[in-house]
Amino acid sequence: MKRKIISKFCLAFLLSLSLILSIFSSVQAAEFPSSWPQAPEIAEETGILMEATTGQVLFDKGMDEIRYPASTTKIMTALLILENVKDLSQTVTFTDVITPDLAPGNSTINAQVGERLTVEECLYGIMLASANEVCTQMAVYVAGSVQNFVSMMNTRAAELGCENTHFVNANGLPDPDHYTTAHDLARILAEAIQNEDFCKISGSAAYTIPPTNMTPYSRNLENTNALIKEGEYHYEGVIAGKTGHTEAAKNTLVTAASRDGMTLVCVVLRSDGESRFIDTVGLFNYGFDNFHLSPVYWLDSENPSGYVTLPKGIESNVLTVTDSDDENTRTRTYTYQGTALYSLQASLPVLLEPTDSAENTQTSSLYRIKGPDHLLPGMIGIFAVLFLAECFLLGYNIHSKKNTIEEISQ
């Protein structure tokens, strides 16, 4: 009888937790203060403009709606290669694993089985020429198999806070189970641009692969991102990016640009024609023309604890500051016109001690939370614990009453 009661309560708990998760996983648009600068409209189905340092969203059009990434997948592929191969002069020998990717219509550099390229040359082939076969070969080179590499991609995405992303290959070729969101792609690029080699490679307008052991001529690669190379859509300050296209995904574009000490990441998905370049330029102009980074001070009155992205003319000293504590951590939230913009966390033991130096700031393990959406897992956890406790108490009471009745009947 006791097992049945426990089983019923466990089932009830799982069902209720599932309901809680479904409530919090629903797509919600970013909230902006009432006086936020008016953003431009875009033609794409979904898009985002995000400040890379703070993770603050400055523009949102369906940023958490699931879409196919196409070749913007290769941002994650290149990031993992750079994180796992320290010597870019290492030689990669191509094997027959690349054969399916050489089918007509695929983006390739026409690599041949047995051909040798350096890791650096492979990275240029991936980011500039969008070479699918190079992605597959590098996946095997790094992880031993494509399957292992894909597992690394999904693990890394989760580490970056990606909530609606799942990869099944290294190049972005169509698959129903290969998907992401504009928000998640922005998170991935924001991480990738912290790598200098990634920016050097992805931000290059062109690159030449010299003759190899099997190809007697040079391969001249040209970046497919029109914002990087000279031309109609060239944008000053672009540091990295990646285009993509499949019939299912339409045109996609992920780009980062830096000006005046601020770095913005723009993602537009499911674009027709050249609108992905036009709308990315429009969103970058909106961001750089209207916003700036303002420092916030907490543990150290001289060195900023972080930065918040605000409309020009507004500084962080006008923000409303609220603190909330749990057992070991204090969370400080900065709010403007009723909208939470930014949060910081620090260890309570450090806060309870005198803190007047940068050394104490480092000891505090201070870090940023990329926007208020990252508070949801904690809220879900609280709901789950409270519900589990309630189930336990209810089950205990029922069992106690049953024992009492049995004792009386005896």
Binding site, annotated residues for substrate: 242
Which of 74, 294, 316, 343 is an active site residue?
A: 74
- Taking the C-alpha atoms of residue 30 and residue 62, their distance in angstroms, rounded to an integer, is 9
| Chain centre to alpha carbon of residue 84 | 19
- Taking the C-alpha atoms of residue 25 and residue 21, their distance in angstroms, rounded to an integer, is 6
Burial classification of residue 340, based on how many CB atoms lie within 10 Å of its CB (0-12 exposed, 13-18 middle, 19 or more buried): middle
Side-chain half-sphere exposure of 255, counting CA atoms within 13 A? 32
- Residue 190's nearest CA partner among 141, 117, 240, 251 is 240
| Chain centre to alpha carbon of residue 73 | 12
* Helix or strand (DSSP H, E) at 289: helix 275-290
- Taking the C-alpha atoms of residue 71 and residue 246, their distance in angstroms, rounded to an integer, is 8
The dihedrals phi and psi of 346, each to the nearest 5 degrees, come to -145, 155
- Taking the C-alpha atoms of residue 293 and residue 311, their distance in angstroms, rounded to an integer, is 9
- Taking the C-alpha atoms of residue 327 and residue 347, their distance in angstroms, rounded to an integer, is 9
Residue 130 among the catalytic residues: yes
What's the token pair of residue 255?
A: 């780009």
| Chain centre to alpha carbon of residue 378 | 19
* Helix or strand (DSSP H, E) at 380: helix 376-409
Three-state SS at 135: helix
Which of 18, 34, 35, 71 is an active site residue?
A: 71
Residue 74 among the catalytic residues: yes
Which of 130, 271, 294, 364 is an active site residue?
A: 130
Helices (H) and strands (E) in the chain, counts: 11, 15
* 311-320 own/partner pairs: CB under 8 Å, 24+ apart: 311/35, 311/36, 311/37
- Residue 141's nearest CA partner among 160, 129, 157, 126 is 126
Adjacent-strand bridge partners of 118: 91
Could you list the residues known to form a binding site, using ranges.
242
Q: Active-site residue numbers?
A: 71, 74, 130
